[in-house]
C-alpha cells in the first residue's frame, strides 16, 4: 500500500484528500505545514507528497526544492489556488511531477497520483531513442534535462536562453522529440539569417505575384510545421513589424499568406531561442513586451561551458567518437590533458570545444596528444581572448573620457535617445573598420565579428554603410 503525505494549512482540503485517497486504497498522513512534514520525513519516508503552495512558515515551492535536493525518488505534486501559467512554471521548474489547481477534481487528482507512482521522475527524462548529442552530468545540465522531462507531456511554449554555442537548437529538438508531437514536423528558422523584407514571406508564405520575385506560390514555415513544432532561433533579431504579426498568429492561430485573402488555420507549438537579453531589448523598445510574455511561458536557461567544466571529459570523449565517424584518426588524452582543457573558459562554449577537438584530430598524427601540444593549442586560444579583453579595457577608458567631456552636449542633442544613438554609431564604426581590415571581404568580416553573413549584410543595409570604402 502506497503511503501518501499531504501538506496543507486548510483542514478541509486535508480531510477531503485523506478520505478520497483512503477510499482509493492509499495510506495517508497529513500535516498543516511543510515544516511539520519535514520534521517527520527522516523517521519515515512517503512514496509521494502532495503540497500546497501558500502555507505558514515554509512555502510549498521551498518544500519541493528540499525534497528534490534530498529525496529525489519521492515525486511531489503541487496544489495551488492560483491556477495560472506562473504556477505551472514555478512547479515544473522546481521539479514537481505535476501541479493541481484548486478547486480540483478528485478523480483527476487520483489519476495524477497513480501516474506519478508508476512513472517516478527520471532525472534525465529523455526518450530512450533520443539520439541527440546533449551531453552532461553536471547539476546545471541535470536541471535542463529535468525541465525537458517535465515538459514531455505538454506542448507549452518555451523560450531557450543561452550563449552562442551552448546547443539551443539541440535542446529545442529534444523538447520536440520528447513531446506528444514527436512524430510531426520540426521546422527550424534562424531569424538572424533572413533579410528583413523576406521575414514574413518565410514565416507565412506568399501567393504568386504578391511581390516582385514571387513567381510561384510558396508555403511558409508555419504551414510546414502545422501539427508539429516551429523553432524560431535568434528571435531577438526579428523586426518589430514582423513581431506584431507573429503575436497575432499566436493569439488567433491563423494567418494570411503575403498577398493572400484567405485565413489559414494552424496548430503549431512555438519554441524560441536567443543569446540576447530580451528584457533589455524590451526596455530599448526593440522587442515587443507582449510578445516576450507570450514566448516566455516556460524559460529554459542553457549553462555556458565555463559553468559546467566537470562535463568537459565526457564531451571530449563524445567528440572523439564523433571524429572517428568522420574518418579522422582517433586520439587520446591523459588526465593532465583534461585538466588543461578544464582550466580554459571556452567563450565559444560547446561548439568551440567540438571544433577544437576536430582540429586536433585532423592536425596531429600521433595517437596520444601530449600535454605540451595541448597546452600550446589552448594557449593560442587564450591569447586571442586576452587580446580581446585588453582591447575592451582600453576602449572602455577612451569611451569614458569622451563621455565625461561631452555628456552635456550629447544630452542636448540626443535627449531621450542617447542609448540608441551610441549603439548605432558604435556598431557602424565597428563594422566599417572590420570590413576595412578584411579588404571588404564580407565573409571574413562576418567571421571576425561573430555574425552570420546574412546578418552582416542586413546591418550594412540598415546602417547605410558604404562598402566601397568611401564612407
Phi and psi at 218, nearest 5°, equal -130, 130
Q: Which helix (H) or strand (E) holds 299?
A: strand 298-301
Domain ranges for the chain, please list them.
Answer: 3-118, 153-301, 306-380, 416-462
User: What's the confidence (pLDDT) of residue 278?
Assistant: 92
CB-based contact 420:284 (threshold 8 Å):
yes
- Strands laid side by side in the 3-7 sheet: 27-31, 3-7, 48-52, 76-80, 98-101
Residue 471's pLDDT band, with cuts at 50, 70 and 90, is very low
Mean pLDDT over 281-291 rounds to: 93
Say how far apart CA 135 and CA 302 lie, in whole Å.
Answer: 12
Q: Tens digits of per-residue pLDDT, 27-42? A: 999 999 999 999 999 8
CATH tag, 306-380: 1.10.8.60
pLDDT exceeds 50 at position 209: yes
Handedness of CA 325, 331, 335, 339 (dihedral sign): negative
| Domain 416-462 -> CATH class | mainly alpha
**Of 127-141, 247-261, 346-360, which gets the smallest average pLDDT?**
127-141
pLDDT exceeds 90 at position 18: yes
pLDDT exceeds 70 at position 403: no
The answer to whether 3-118 and 306-380 have equal CATH topology is no
Say how far apart CA 292 and CA 159 lie, in whole Å.
Answer: 9
User: What's the confidence (pLDDT) of residue 129?
Assistant: 43
Q: Tens digits of per-residue pLDDT, 439-464? A: 788 888 887 887 777 778 888 888 88
pLDDT exceeds 60 at position 391: no
By C-alpha distance, which of 282, 225, 232 is closest to 255? 225
CATH tag, 153-301: 3.40.50.300
Q: What is residue 112's DSSP assignment? A: H
Give the distance from CA 363 to its chain's centroid. 34
Residue 83's pLDDT band, with cuts at 50, 70 and 90, is very low
CB-based contact 27:44 (threshold 8 Å):
no
* % of the chain residues with pLDDT over 70: 84
Tell me: domain 3-118, CATH 3.40.50.10860, correct? Answer: no
Computed over every residue of the chain, the mean pLDDT equals 83
| Model confidence, pTM | 0.59
Residues 6+ apart with CB under 8 A from 371: 334, 336, 337, 340
Amino acid at each position: 500500500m502506497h503511503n501518501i503525505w499531504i501538506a496543507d494549512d486548510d483542514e478541509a482540503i486535508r480531510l477531503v484528500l485523506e478520505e478520497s485517497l483512503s477510499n482509493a486504497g492509499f495510506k495517508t498522513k497529513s500535516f498543516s505545514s511543510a515544516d511539520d512534514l519535514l520534521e517527520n520525513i527522516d523517521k519515515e519516508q512517503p512514496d509521494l507528497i502532495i503540497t500546497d503552495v501558500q502555507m505558514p512558515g515554509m512555502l510549498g515551492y521551498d518544500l519541493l526544492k528540499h525534497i528534490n535536493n534530498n529525496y529525489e525518488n519521492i515525486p511531489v505534486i503541487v496544489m495551488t489556488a492560483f491556477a495560472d501559467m506562473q504556477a505551472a512554471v514555478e512547479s515544473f521548474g522546481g521539479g514537481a511531477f505535476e501541479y493541481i489547481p484548486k478547486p480540483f477534481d478528485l478523480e483527476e487528482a487520483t489519476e495524477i497520483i497513480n501516474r506519478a507512482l508508476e512513472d517516478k521522475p527520471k532525472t534525465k527524462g529523455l526518450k530512450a531513442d533520443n539520439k541527440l548529442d546533449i551531453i552532461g552530468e553536471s547539476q546545471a545540465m541535470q536541471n535542463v534535462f529535468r525541465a525537458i522531462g517535465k515538459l514531455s507531456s505538454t506542448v507549452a511554449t518555451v523560450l531557450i536562453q543561452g550563449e552562442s554555442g551552448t546547443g539551443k537548437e539541440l535542446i529545442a529538438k529534444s523538447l520536440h522529440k520528447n513531446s506528444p508531437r514527436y512524430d510531426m514536423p520540426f521546422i527550424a528558422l534562424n531569424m538572424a539569417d533572413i533579410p528583413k523584407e523576406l521575414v514574413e514571406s518565410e514565416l507565412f508564405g506568399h501567393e504568386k505575384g504578391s511581390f516582385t520575385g514571387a513567381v510561384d506560390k510558396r508555403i511558409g514555415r508555419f504551414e510546414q510545421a502545422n501539427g508539429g513544432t516551429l523553432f524560431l532561433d535568434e528571435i531577438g533579431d526579428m523586426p518589430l513589424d514582423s513581431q506584431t504579426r507573429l503575436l497575432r498568429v499566436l493569439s488567433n492561430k491563423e494567418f494570411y499568406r503575403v498577398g493572400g485573402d484567405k485565413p489559414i488555420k494552424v496548430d503549431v507549438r512555438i519554441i524560441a531561442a536567443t543569446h540576447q537579453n530580451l528584457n533589455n531589448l524590451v526596455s530599448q523598445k526593440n522587442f515587443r513586451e507582449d510578445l516576450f510574455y507570450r514566448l516566455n511561458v516556460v524559460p529554459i536557461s542553457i549553462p555556458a561551458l565555463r559553468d559546467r567544466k566537470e562535463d568537459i571529459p565526457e564531451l571530449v570523449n563524445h567528440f572523439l567518437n564523433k571524429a572517428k565517424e568522420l574518418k579522422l584518426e582517433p586520439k587520446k588524452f591523459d588526465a593532465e590533458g583534461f585538466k588543461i582543457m578544464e582550466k580554459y573558459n571556452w567563450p565559444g562554449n560547446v561548439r568551440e570545444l567540438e571544433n577544437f577537438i576536430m582540429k586536433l584530430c585532423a592536425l596531429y598524427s600521433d595517437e596520444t596528444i601530449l600535454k605540451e601540444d595541448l597546452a600550446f593549442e589552448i594557449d593560442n586560444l587564450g591569447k586571442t581572448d586576452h587580446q580581446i579583453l585588453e582591447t575592451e579595457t582600453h576602449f572602455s577608458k577612451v569611451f569614458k573620457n569622451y563621455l565625461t567631456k561631452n555628456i552635456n552636449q550629447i544630452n542636448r542633442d540626443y535627449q531621450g535617445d542617447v542609448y540608441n544613438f551610441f549603439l548605432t554609431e558604435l556598431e557602424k564604426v565597428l563594422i566599417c573598420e572590420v570590413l576595412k581590415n578584411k579588404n571588404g571581404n564580407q565573409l571574413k568580416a562576418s567571421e571576425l565579428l561573430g555574425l552570420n553573413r546574412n546578418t552582416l549584410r542586413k546591418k550594412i543595409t540598415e546602417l547605410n554603410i558604404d562598402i566601397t570604402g568611401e564612407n
